[in-house]
Amino acid sequence: MAKATIVWTKIDEAPALATYSLLPIMRAFTKDADVDIELRDISLAGRILAQFPDILPEDKRVPDELAYLGELVWKPEANIMKLPNISASLPQLKEAIKELQEQGYPLPDYPEDPKTEEEKKIKERYDRCVGSVVNPVLRQGNSDRRLAQSVKEYAKKHPHKLRDVAPNSKSHVAYMKEGDFYQNEKSVIIKKDTKIKYVFEDKNGNQQVLKEVEVGQGDVVDGTFMDRKALREYFKEVIDVAKREDILFSVHVKATMMKVSDPVIFGDAIKVYYNDLFEKHGETLEKLGWEPRFGMQDLENRIESLPEEEKEAIKKTIQEIYKKQPRLYMVDSDNGITNLHMPNDVIIDASVPAVIKNGLKGWGPSGEVDDVVLSIPDRSYATMYKEIVEDIKTNGQFDPTKIGTVQNVGLMAMKAEEYGSHDKTFFPPADGKMKVIDEEGNVLIEHCVNEGDIWRSCITKDIAIRDWIKLAINRAKETGYPIVFWLDEYRAHDRNLIEIVKEELPKYDLSDVEWYIKAPEDAMKYTLARFRKGENTISVTGNVLRDYLTDLFPIIEVGTSARSLSIVPLIAGGGLFETGAGGSAPKHVEQFLKEGHLRWDSLGEFLAFVESLKHAYKQLKTLHNKDDKRILILAETLDKAVGKYLDNDKTPKRKVGELDTRGSHFYLALYWAEELANQTEDKELAEKFAKVYADLKENEQKILDEIKAVEGKPAETGGWYHPDDEKTEKLMRPSQTFNQIIDSLLK
Amino acid sequence: MAKATIVWTKIDEAPALATYSLLPIMRAFTKDADVDIELRDISLAGRILAQFPDILPEDKRVPDELAYLGELVWKPEANIMKLPNISASLPQLKEAIKELQEQGYPLPDYPEDPKTEEEKKIKERYDRCVGSVVNPVLRQGNSDRRLAQSVKEYAKKHPHKLRDVAPNSKSHVAYMKEGDFYQNEKSVIIKKDTKIKYVFEDKNGNQQVLKEVEVGQGDVVDGTFMDRKALREYFKEVIDVAKREDILFSVHVKATMMKVSDPVIFGDAIKVYYNDLFEKHGETLEKLGWEPRFGMQDLENRIESLPEEEKEAIKKTIQEIYKKQPRLYMVDSDNGITNLHMPNDVIIDASVPAVIKNGLKGWGPSGEVDDVVLSIPDRSYATMYKEIVEDIKTNGQFDPTKIGTVQNVGLMAMKAEEYGSHDKTFFPPADGKMKVIDEEGNVLIEHCVNEGDIWRSCITKDIAIRDWIKLAINRAKETGYPIVFWLDEYRAHDRNLIEIVKEELPKYDLSDVEWYIKAPEDAMKYTLARFRKGENTISVTGNVLRDYLTDLFPIIEVGTSARSLSIVPLIAGGGLFETGAGGSAPKHVEQFLKEGHLRWDSLGEFLAFVESLKHAYKQLKTLHNKDDKRILILAETLDKAVGKYLDNDKTPKRKVGELDTRGSHFYLALYWAEELANQTEDKELAEKFAKVYADLKENEQKILDEIKAVEGKPAETGGWYHPDDEKTEKLMRPSQTFNQIIDSLLK
């Protein structure tokens, strides 16, 4: 009998703990539908163990499930619930190895400094587990992000606070007038498969190959650069304006993602703002090995090593600078952490919405709230932020009870640079030329650059672009909302994308699709006009705007982007359902281990599972020609149950003794059973779950008491990275009453 | 007994003819109030005669009334009704001299080629009468432009047609990304009175003084340049976009006002669009002495002199270009007149509103209506046009029955360059530097420029700026509308103006004033949001935006800018009330002379007179401490009468036998009398005019018949430039019945 299979990923930390409680519920409720749920281990520990089938004894070997999923995502039957996992740092990796060794897994130590061939190979295997290794394997599709109906409705009923904006607010977005990535961009569509090389050519014609990359026909290759002189002049102008207007100065970049270019841009802001520091103490700074891109915090650390007098001189200069320059936007004014302390502290996609939420205000050095200039140097992305900021100044703060929703279809598949271009970001070592040359020697892109300019290239794959257009059209058809391609005819990269969009569109039936192509600022204007009228719009964007908008609008609409659905419709037809942003919450694990109270909110899992079920329904239909309406009913009733869950505020609370993750799962089950009992499409299901609902309802207090009974004492899971299944399941399913009701469904 | 005196200017052509009929009415109605109306002759003929007191016999001498008014405008009691006059060309001057000679004035001939000292002096005197000589003398103030209540209400009741805009319109404004005047601008506020010189310095340091100018403390001096290479690249990009999008290409400049720079910008569009022409026929074009800034029409004229074969080759190339390049926006598609035919044909302040009225469409080469890209190169002014165009695409066409009004306070006094900077516009003869250097050798402004770049400087006078700020505040207080200074913190000139605004504002009581400073695009956004809600806003702008906005908004609001009030509150406290734009209508005079029908609409005079009366009331109060409410009542009732005049459509009609200027004046008098009779504030006036109204009403048909009786035959005024007063008065006051009623009031 053909069934759909949903893969539930086993991952790390808090969501992994929650899974012990939640997964049985999901399996129990879906038992009668043609859908199976498989657990596949892609936790850090699981990935480590999978590296050593040759070393581990047979009973301790585990399959390489990430590799399995890496193949699955390229099959149409893929349907994966992707929960948050650890992107391991080296210390985390070493901790995990140690824990596994202590559990009796004969793993080798991590060879910090491998000498032998064997050690090198071991290090290589371990290194495969470090950093963000899961997403690049699984995200074989573009991005479909939106708010679930239940979440949106909850926010309309329980609106979060958005501060009013003073009509004469002096806050504004400032971008460069010239010399930015936007202006200098060149872009080509590759005519036939080739290998391109990135070349720097000095004034004497000497060439240096910086990198070689294979590209395919139809791929879009861009090159552009940031003129550093223009950048610093821009910062000077903005700082002058901030000073004259007596408002806060701030810089908003994304140094976490654009990890090569953006710290340098950030550093140039430091260079200009703290100019006197460089003039007076240039030699000392050099001696310290400090570079502006490290941020002021790093400088503060480094000067500790200086003789008292030198240190004090530097501190004094900094204090004098603060008197002279405009006040800085603060990350943490209590602790004196400024915008310029750490390149990663102010992350544009979070920081700009925060300023918007706060009525276009930032925090100043004395903890005061004040107007602020938001420096966002590059016009590629700054203009749309300017548009929304000016819109708010003109039309007032948004009203979450009235606004529509803005969904996003993002070009993300196959890396989809603009993001991820850090391996193709170069700093010309001298004045000269940057060139992109193909195998046949054709110069595809050429720029005259100056030493130190930031030159970068992005490659966007043909297949990814076409899939993205298809996804946009599908979303338009599913929703009836207009789709807007945020593409600027006057930007080289976008111009090529527009060409492809126009080539693709006629391949579809567009009779029921309202579509537009608009430059980001115009797209924002159009979208906001609808948004304020309560109308819904789909933004269809590149990878950077995807990232920015999927924070911006959810934060305005429901107060957070964590409650947003994140779906990756896989290119091959499958679906990847990501649950929640914001990591795997180690602090929650600490609390659980210490006092037996877990406060992980599984809302993301609930919402994603609704979509996963809907997708399973479609898969059964298209792949097996099977129309199992029960799956749809399960999805729809779960969606309603989530609405009730939110309305009745059954999310886990912070303190021991209050409702925790396990109790929240009970309520989800209660409401889901209630909804299933109340639906009228499938009588059998209704009857079955009427009984379940009655049992749950009757035992509500008893179940909650049984859960509460295990709180207030340490929880022994038998491992942080690799908990003991039996122990942990017992801890996470403490209510026998609840377990009996659930387990009876599984028989 | 203290009285206010209104000067009614005697001018030329149609409005001068109308004055014979209108002035007696104005005098009659205002007879009982403490206001006199004086006629002062500043017509071309009058100005000519005033030049020769030494030559003319005593009985033919006339006083120099323009000189008189030139002094009067600097006195607080000035109150001048300025009607449209001739800015004489040389042929017009010579015609006028001839006419005066024939009338018996012993004037010398115009010495084309003066030899003797005496001839030179005569030519000098005559030359003082050529060109725009009245405005520079009289406009000693900034500009207050707005729609009279009656005109605005008429438009709301009888809305003009604004075409709908398709939501997917591809029309858009395109401006430069870099290298424009906006980006390169530098600006200084002069610290103490000095003489500045404009210097070009070549690569070897050789300096050439291009001009010297006296400037005073507080004056704002700017310098900036247009990078011609960047300009041409920009045109190339826009042309490519127009082609790819298959929309019309257009360029919008103001070659009439920016007479040195803008034809060159226009010429660069020609260079890029017709590039093949220059490549194939460069030598021929040079031989013809043709330059692109002359326009394609001029080229068409010049090639007529070529041998047939060469001529045909050029024509063929042009036709091939049209096949290859995007279609051009047409000025007159019937006659093949393109946007690029004449630099003066497409005048931005008229052409952009025309496109807006037309639903963001232009006319193409085959007479088709299509989307159009509006190239407006310089970001100083283009961004606000972009904002309104995108606003219309997003929010739909404006509805004249619902929109508010946008008034303007424009910085115009004492030349107030940005405009009028053509005497300080230079084309560097080679690569080098442009410098502005003061008497003490300080380099105030310096730019590295390339040969052929357009470098220009503007001077704005301190006193003019401060008066402009005062006027803005006064207007805010009078209306209660918010005032928005359209100034951009990121533009050098504006930054200095902002500094002065911030210095001035605290000198006033602002408790009842809502004020903002916003960059043009943001100011437009703010203004349009109010505009669409039916709210009113005052734009406070520099001279260029004054010119653009006082066309743009009136055209949207009431279909034409000709019906807009144009007031110059004089710096010294007086008022100059300009009546109507669009010249002195020689065609109307021709019709009158031929068939005795005059169709000059005195609406502008009516509206301006309302304001002039209000001003007279204030002057009496402030200068003589006299509170003559009758003047106010006269103003208010006239305003209402004008409303009725519009509502009942009593404007003059085109054809002989229909209502003409004289009949329209009758109706104005009728309605004014009616309103005076109906007002209750002044019984005496009411009683008096109740009788007048009854008389007029009773004789309505008789009066119209008496007027019609003189139509259909030539009217002999005794002169075009210098009509005979007696003859003309008789022609313009043909109804004895009407005359008796009016004249009885004057007794």
Instruction: With CA atoms as reference, report the closest residue to A182 among A424, A433, A351, A376.
Output: A376
Nearest CA-CA distance, residue B191 and chain A, Å: 19
Nearest-angstrom CA–CA distance, A532 and A519? 20
pLDDT score recorded for residue A1 = 64
Which 3 state secondary structure label does DSSP give A328? strand
* Closest-CA residue to B126 (of B104, B149, B148, B101): B101
Q: Are B420 and B256 in contact (CB under 8 A)?
A: no
**pLDDT for A416 beyond 80:** no
All residues at 6 or more sequence positions from B171 whose CB lies less than 8 Å from its CB, including other chains: B247, B355, B360, B361, B362, B371, B372, B373, B374, B389, B393
- Cβ–Cβ of A179/B178 closer than 8 Å? yes
Q: Which two tokens stand for residue B163?
A: 């075409």
CA distance B596 to chain A (A): 55
3-state helix, strand, coil in chain B (%, to 5): 50, 20, 35
The answer, for B735 touching chain A at a CB cutoff of 8 Å, is: no
Binding-site residue set of A for D-threo-isocitrate: 145, 546
Q: Where are the beta strands (DSSP E) in A284-329?
A: none
Q: Are B526 and A177 within 8 A, CB to CB?
A: no
Question: What does the block give as tokens for A269?
Answer: 């802001």
Give the Cα separation of B196 and A407 in Å (integer): 58
- With a cut of 70, say whether residue A225 has pLDDT above it: yes
In this structure, are residues B142 and B410 in contact, taking their beta carbons and an 8 Å threshold? yes
Q: Can you point out the beta strands (E) in A93-245?
A: 143-147, 172-174, 186-189, 194-202, 207-215, 220-226
Residue pair A252/A341 in contact (Cβ under 8 Å)? The answer is no
Q: Provide the token pair at B3.
A: 């009285």
Cα→Cα distances A336→A62, A332, A340, B372, Å: 49, 6, 11, 53
Q: What gap in Å lies between CA B182 and CA B418, rounded to an integer?
A: 12
Give the three-state DSSP class for A332. Answer: strand
Q: Are A546 and A145 in contact (CB under 8 A)?
A: yes
Q: Residues of A numbered 509-528 whose beta carbons fall under 8 angstroms of chain B's beta carbons: which are they?
A: 516, 521-522, 525-526
- Give per-10-residue mean pLDDT for chain B (747 aa): 92 96 98 95 96 94 96 97 91 96 96 94 93 87 94 94 94 97 97 97 96 96 97 98 97 90 97 97 95 96 95 97 98 94 92 97 96 98 98 97 98 81 93 97 98 96 96 97 98 97 97 97 98 98 95 95 92 93 85 96 96 97 95 96 96 95 98 98 97 98 96 95 97 98 93
User: Does residue B87 have a known ligand-binding role?
Assistant: yes
CA distance A142 to chain B (A): 26
Contacts of B521 in chain A (CB under 8 A): 390
Nearest to B490 among A174, A394, A516 (CB): A174
Query: Tokens 């402004």 belong to which residue?
Result: B445
H or E segment and range at residue B99: helix B90-102
Contacts of B391 in chain A (CB under 8 A): 525
Residues of B in contact with A166 (CB under 8 A): none
Confidence of residue A399 (pLDDT cuts 50, 70, 90): very high
Half-sphere exposure of A558 (CA within 13 A, CB side): 23
Model pLDDT, residue B731: 97
A393:B174 CB<8 A = no
CA distance B632 to B625: 15
Asked if residue A384 lies in contact with residue A545, where contact means CB atoms within 8 angstroms, the answer is yes
Going by the DSSP 8-state scheme, the letter that residue B743 receives in this structure is: H
Q: Inform me whether the C-beta atom of residue B490 falls under 8 Å from chain A C-beta atoms.
A: yes
Q: What are the counts of helices (DSSP H) followed by strands (DSSP E) for chain A?
A: 27, 24
Length of chain A (residues): 747
Annotated binding site of A: 82-87, 132-139, 145, 349, 546-547, 551, 583-584, 588, 599-601, 654
User: Reduced to 3 states, what is the DSSP secondary structure of residue A216?
Assistant: coil
CB contact B186 to A (< 8 Å): no
Q: What is the pLDDT of residue A87?
A: 84
A residues 210-269 closer than 8 Å to B (CB):
237, 241, 244-245
* Angstroms from A219 CA to nearest CA on chain B: 20
- A480-500 per-position pLDDT tens digit: 999 999 999 999 999 999 999
pLDDT digits (tens, 9 = 90+) for A253-282: 998 888 899 999 999 999 999 999 999 999
| Tens-digit pLDDT profile for residues A701-732 | 999 999 999 999 999 999 999 999 999 999 99
Max CA distance (Å), chain B: 86
Residue A64 sits at the chain B interface (C-beta within 8 Å)? no
Cα separation of the two ends of chain B: 18
CA distance A290 to A284: 9
Contact A294, A337 (CB under 8 A): no
3-state SS class at A567:
strand
- CA A736, CA B9: separation in Å to the nearest integer? 102
Residue A497: closest CA among A105, A221, A161, A122: A221
Segment 301-360 of chain B within 8 Å of chain A by CB: none
Residue B578: how many other CB atoms lie within 10 Å: 23
A95 touches chain B (CB under 8 A): no
Token representation of residue A570: 């896989």
pLDDT at position A146 is 96
What is the rounded distance in angstroms from the CA atom of residue A429 to the CA atom of residue B278? Answer: 40
Task: Tell me whether A529 touches chain B (CB under 8 Å).
Answer: yes
Tokens of A321: 């600078």
Query: Which of A394, A489, A522 lies at the smallest CB-CB distance from B529?
Result: A394
Determine the Cα–Cα distance for residues B147 and B603; give it in Å rounded to an integer: 12
SS3 call for A209: strand
Write out chain B residues lying below 8 Å of A174, CB-based: 490
Q: Does residue A435 surpass a pLDDT of 90?
A: yes
In A397-510 the beta strands, taken as DSSP E runs, fall at: 406-410, 425-426, 432-437, 443-449, 454-460, 483-486
Interchain pair B177, A394: CB under 8 A: no
Under 8 Å CB pairs connecting chains A and B tally to 57
Substitution target in A249, A525, A532 with the highest count of B β-carbons within 10 Å is A525
Q: Determine the Cα–Cα distance for residues B528 and A552; give it in Å rounded to an integer.
A: 25
B349 annotated to bind ligand = yes
Using alpha carbons, select from B607, B611, B605 the residue that is nearest to residue B585: B605
The answer to whether the complex's ipTM is over 0.95 is no
Mean pLDDT of chain A: 95
B525 and A178 within 8 Å at the Cβ level: the answer is no
How many other C-beta atoms can be found within 10 angstroms of the C-beta atom of residue B364?
21
Q: How confident is the model at residue A582 (pLDDT cuts 50, 70, 90)?
A: low
Using alpha carbons, select from A718, A734, A553, A727 the residue that is nearest to residue A661: A734
B584 labelled binding-site residue: yes
Of A177, A499, A522, the CB nearest to B390: A522
Q: How far is A327 from chain B (nearest CA, A)?
A: 18
Minimal C-alpha gap between A168 and chain B (Å) = 7
- Give the mutation candidate from A172, A394, A499, A514 for the B interface (greatest B CB count, under 10 A): A394
Chain A residue with the nearest C-alpha to that of B241: A489
- A166 touching chain B per CB within 8 A: no
Query: In this predicted structure, what is the pLDDT of residue A131?
Result: 81
Tokens of A449: 């650059």
Contact residues, chain B, for A529 at CB < 8 Å: 394-395
Helices (H) and strands (E) in chain B, counts: 27, 24
**What are the chain B neighbours of A172 within 8 Å (beta carbons)?**
522
Return the closest-CA partner of residue B386 out of B411, B356, B362, B419.
B356
**β-strand pairing of A194-202 with A515-518:** unpaired
Q: Do A391 and B525 touch (CB under 8 A)?
A: yes
Task: Specify the pairing of strand B4-10 against strand A564-569.
Answer: unpaired
- In our burial notation (b when 16+ CB lie closer than 10 A, e otherwise), range A378-400 reads bbbbbbbbbbbbbbbbbbebbeb
- Specify whether the CB–CB gap between A598 and A656 falls below 8 A: no
- Taking an 8 Å cut-off on Cβ atoms, the answer to whether A168 and B525 are in contact is no
* Eight-state DSSP code of residue A577: E
pLDDT reading at A470 higher than 90: yes
Q: Does A639 touch chain B (CB under 8 A)?
A: no
Chain B residues near residue A177 by CB distance under 8 angstroms: 178, 182-183, 379, 490
Tokens of B122: 């005569």
Cβ distance B490 to A177 less than 8 Å, yes or no, reads yes
Residue B135, annotated as binding a ligand: yes
Are A96 and A591 a contacting pair, CB within 8 Å?
no
Question: How many Å apart are CA A555 and CA A567, to the nearest integer?
Answer: 18
- The side-by-side arrangement of strands in the sheet containing B207-215 is B207-215, B194-202, B432-437, B443-449
Q: Which residues of A touch B525 (CB under 8 A)?
A: 390-391, 394
Nearest Cα to Cα of residue B425 among B417, B414, B416:
B417
Of A615, A355, A599, give the one whose Cα is nearest residue A478: A615
> Cβ of B395 under 8 Å from any chain A Cβ?
yes
